[in-house]
Chain A
Amino acid sequence: MKKFKFLIFAVLPMLLLASCIFDSEGDSLVSWLDSQGFPSNYLVQTVEIDDLELSSYKVGFDSTPRLQYYQGVVGAVNGMEHDWVLDFGFRDKSFFAKYSADSAEPYRSAFIALYPDSGFYSQAGYKKDSLPIKETITFKFSWIIDKGKGSSFVDSIGDIKDSIWTASLRGIWDKAKSADTTYKLKISALDSALRIDLPSAFYKDLAKVTEAARVQLRISAPESKRLYRFFGPSADVVPFLRVKAYTQTTVVDGDTTTKDVYKNIWAFRSAIISSYQNECSDCTVLHGGVLESLLVEIPRERILNALSDFYGDEFPYTKGDSNDVRQTVVLAQLKMGRSSSKEGSELGFPVQVTAASFVDSNGVDIESSESYKLNRELIQKEGHPNLVFMEGDTLGIQLTDGMRSFINRAGKGAKMRFVLRLGYSMLAPYDTLYYDHVNDDGDSVTIFMDYSTFSRYDFSDYISRPVSLKLWLATKRGDDE
Chain B
Amino acid sequence: MIRKILLSVLYVTIAANAASMMGLEALGKPTESASAMTLGRGYAGGAKTGSGITPWNPAGLAFEESTSFNATMTFEENVASSKDDSYASSTLEIPSLSFIFAMHDFGTLALSLSEKYTSNLDEEVEDSTQTNLANIKYKGNVYELTPSYAVRLPFLRRVSLGFSAHFVMGSVSRKLTLGGDNSQVAKADAWATNNSEITETAEGSWEIKNHPAYYTGAIHYKGSRASYYFSYTTAYTLKNELEYNLKFSETDTLVPTKLSREIDVPPTLATGFAYRFKKRHNILIDFMLRGWDADICNIGGSWNLEDSTDTQTEFMAALGYERSGSTDYFKKYVQRMDFRLGIWYRNYYISDVTEYGAGVGTGFPLGRRSTKLDVAIQGGVRKSDNDSIWDEKFVGIAIGLTGVGNWGNKPKKVH
User: Interface on A for B, CB 8 Å cutoff?
Assistant: 1, 4-5, 8, 11-13, 15-16, 18-20, 22-33, 35-46, 320-321, 323, 325-326, 328, 330-331, 333, 359-363, 366, 368, 373-378, 401, 404-405, 408-409, 470, 472, 474, 476-480
Contact = CB atoms under 8 A, between A and B. Distances in A.
A16 B304 contact: no
Contacts, number: 206
Nearest to A45: B184
A325 B198 CA distance: 12
B327 interface: no
B181 A44 contact: yes
B362 A330 contact: no
Contacts of A480: 304
Interface stretch (B65-73, B186-194, B218-226, B280-288): B186-194
A15 B180 contact: no
A252 B248 CA distance: 82
A12 B182 contact: no
B80 A32 contact: yes
B178 A42 contact: yes
A376 B388 contact: no
Contacts of B337: 4
6 contacts: A12-B9, A33-B125, A35-B388, A326-B302, A409-B255, A472-B185
Contact of B87 (A32, A331, A333): A32
B382 to A, nearest CB: 14
B217 to A, nearest CB: 38
Interface of A is mostly: mixed
A25 to B, nearest CB: 7
Given A12-B5, A330-B192, A359-B253, A37 B304 contact: yes
Contacts of B334: 1, 4
Contacts of B200: 476
B199 to A, nearest CB: 10
Q: Among the interface residues A25, A325, A363, A470, which one has the most CB atoms of the partner chain B within 10 A?
A: A325
Given A32-B21, A38-B303, A478-B303, A368 B253 contact: yes
Interface in B74-121: 77, 79-80, 82, 85-90
A320 B257 contact: yes
Contact of A46 (B21, B87, B89, B185): B185
B305 A28 contact: no
Contact of A37 (B244, B255, B388): B388
Interface of B: 1, 5, 8-9, 12, 21, 25, 77, 79-80, 82, 85-90, 123, 125-128, 130, 132, 134, 136, 176, 178-186, 188-189, 191-196, 198, 200, 244-248, 252-259, 302-306, 333-334, 337, 362, 364, 375, 377, 387-388, 390, 395, 397
A477 B334 CA distance: 62
4 interchain residue pairs of minimum CB distance: A37-B304, A22-B88, A478-B304, A19-B77
B77 A41 contact: no
Contact of A44 (B182, B303, B388, B390): B182
A377 to B, nearest CB: 7
B366 to A, nearest CB: 13
A39 B178 contact: yes
A432 B255 CA distance: 34
Contacts of A31: 82, 85
B183 to A, nearest CB: 8
Contacts of A359: 253-254
A474 B184 CA distance: 11
Contacts of B136: 33, 38
